[in-house]
Amino acid sequence: MDITETLKQIPQSPGIYQMFDSRGNIIYVGKAKNLKNRVLQYFTNNKDRAPKVEEMIRNIYSIKYVVTDTELDAFLDECRLIKEIKPRYNRQLKNTAKYLFIKIPAEPFPKVKIAKEKEADDALYFGPFTSRRQVETTIQYLNEFYPIRKCASPRVVKRSNGCLYLQLGKCLGVCTAQIRPDEYQNHIEKIRQLLNGADQAAFQELPKLIDSAVDNLNFEHAAQYREYYLGLRHILGKQQLVRSSNKQKNILAVEFIDHTHAKIFFIKGNKLLYREILDTIEKNTTELSQHLKQLIRGKFTTEKTSDKSGLTQHDLDEAQIIYSYLKNNKKKILSYWIPDTRLKEPGLDGAVSKIVERITSANFSV
């Protein structure tokens, strides 16, 4: 099939596109801020393409596309379609790395370790995280800066003189049988506070260590401290995302389509509940306020919170799409957290008035 005509018709708008093979199977789903530019990239000469991408392009028989109102719409629709359809090349081209957790077992003298899944036990879990490298770097940092067990043996092996880590001052020496569990757990609690974001003093100390190492011309140590800083920053950021999603926050987001229309998104936790286009010109502020209050109460109060046992991989994908988009597009998108306590009068009135004022001010870039 000649897809030249289809390529000519694709607009320069946000949206999603679907690649079909000769049997009518959807082999790939993608999203784009500019559909025309993105799709045309597949049909221009590119010597640096991965073999799997070249294989996919050879199997493209036809293309369909759907224009969306905003880029966020495209992101969310792509995520939903990939989950529903599971296209062949979306599975093959995506990063095959699994989600990982940082695990602290419920033991008197636990080691901090990597876990591939969250089990139904009493252990303490942080994550899920998508970058193995950053997880490994963070655990390396914890082992260097906290005197916790590092020995290869899964169980505590008694040694009268302790291990090499004890002699280097990197471990309390649990293997000597002279360390009390509560003494050891004090350090585990400090790690928990750090990874939960409750106490970031240790994280904030790393830039000082980097500067000090550079001043002393110890560039190897400076490079290592920088790796620790980047790894820990990644982990703390992802953990904050997980906490935000688990709290089931009510978020109202407003993205402008043009100078007269805006799209509102109702998000609870990491779930998109509802979206609607608003005409910001035809409705006066009173009508707009009343309409928003009805929607806010209707959408946020009727949605039941899900089981808080943890996030699935798809939950994390949705959360990353939503929160990352809101964070990275502050110049063109408004976002508001509406606590459950404000869903009733009169608390909601003040919040809605501020939202309407911002929407109708026309000071936002499109």
Secondary structure, 3-state, 282-338? CCCHHHHHHHHHHHHHHHHHHCCCCCCCCCCHHHHHHHHHHHHHHHHCCCCEEEEEC
Q: Which domains does the chain have, with CATH numbers?
A: 4-93 (3.40.1440.10), 100-245 (no CATH), 250-360 (no CATH)
Q: Helix, strand or coil for residue 56? A: helix
The burial of 17, by beta-carbon neighbours within 10 Å (0-12 exposed, 13-18 middle, 19 or more buried), is given as buried
Cα separation, 303 vs 297, in Å, equals 10
- Percentage above 70 pLDDT, the chain: 87
DSSP letter assigned to residue 216: T
Tell me: the pLDDT tens digits for 116-132?
888 888 999 998 888 89
Cα separation, 262 vs 254, in Å, equals 6
Residue 5 neighbours by CB distance under 10 Å:
8
Q: Which amino acid is at 15?
A: G
pLDDT the model gives residue 311: 60
Tell me: the pLDDT tens digits for 270-289?
788 999 998 887 778 888 89
Q: 30 φ, ψ to 5°? A: -135, 170
DSSP structure string for 66-87: EE-SSHHHHHHHHHHHHHHH--
pLDDT the model gives residue 96: 43
